[in-house]
Structure 1
Amino acid sequence: MDDDHVKRPSRVYPEAPLVGVGAVVRADNKILLIRRANEPGKGLWSIPGGLVEVGETLRDAVAREVEEETGIKIEVGKLIDVVENIVRDNDGRVKFHYILVDFEAKPIIGSMDVHPSPEALEARWFTPEEIKGIPITNTAKLLLRKIGIEV
């Protein structure tokens, strides 16, 4: 079977955990965030990221996802953390299960103008102080705190 016909795993009620990547992209004392267009966390602000594709390295995946969601090309830095995000429905069944691999990153020299994709309702740069006043996902809060940014 060729790569164009590979069955994509279900994000909702998955058969196995899905591997996702994300990036805390920083420049000029600002952090790049997206407002999520899809569950989990629909409508909340979070770091850009997404699922790793078959045959793709983690670093390549995070660079691709950030560019797809925001239009920003990045240089991927050091690993911040690996976390699990398990969301259960009202019956206790696992609705979402992600293993998230998050990196630090910075824009490659050039434009910092964001161009959100349909996967993101919005994308923009925030100061740490501004982040305190917006609705943000719990996983993004924990990640930012881990690198010393109180939100």
Structure 2
Amino acid sequence: MTTHVTDCVGAVITDEAGRLLLIKRGHEPGKGLWSIPGGRVEAGESDAAALVREIREETGLAVVPGRLIGRVRRPAGAAGGEFDIRDYAAEVTGGMLVPGDDADDAMWAAPADLDGLPLADGLLAALRSWGVVGGAG
């Protein structure tokens, strides 16, 4: 049986204070959980174009995509299949942080605060394994 795979992108964005940009997911999978902003790559769209679009839609920020930081596969929830998520560094070039689209909230979180937040499954482990944030305690 072939598993349906949906291409997705995410953005790892930090500010000058070293805080990580997070959005609170407004829809399943992971409704109510904090995650990095991102979403599905549309047909004919490059990862870079999808990243720019998704960040603008979810946060109101304009970004320039950078290097690939890491890649994960996650279950696609009730729809079945898997999300193939490619997470890229990105730099904010403009806009104002305002949650939109399918984000219920958005914030800058200090790395020390991540352990106390309800995060999307596997997010903190992935960020730690990629060296984006340090280990616990």
TM-score normalised to structure 2 length: 0.86
Q: 1:18 to 1:71 in 2, by over 3 A?
A: same
CA distance in 1, matches of 2:120, 2:64: 24
- Residues 28 and 77, structure 2, Cα contact 8 Å, conserved in 1: no
Q: 1:84 to 1:130 in 2, by over 3 A?
A: same
Superposition RMSD on alpha carbons, in Å?
A: 1.9
CA distance in 2, matches of 1:63, 1:82: 18
- Please list every run of at least 4 consecutive aligned residues from structure 1 whose deviation after the TM superposition is greater than 3 angstroms: none
| Structure with larger Rg | 1
Matched, 1:129 2:112: yes
Matched, 1:65 2:71: no
Name the amino acid aligned to 2:6: L
Q: Which residues of structure 1 form unaligned runs of 5+?
A: 1-14
Matched, 1:101 2:89: no
| SS of structure 2 residue aligned to 1:73 | strand
Matches within 5 A, 1:27-42: 27-28=15-16, 29-42=18-31
Task: Number of aligned residue pairs: give it.
Answer: 131
1:80 Cα offset (Å): 1.0
Name the amino acid aligned to 2:13: V
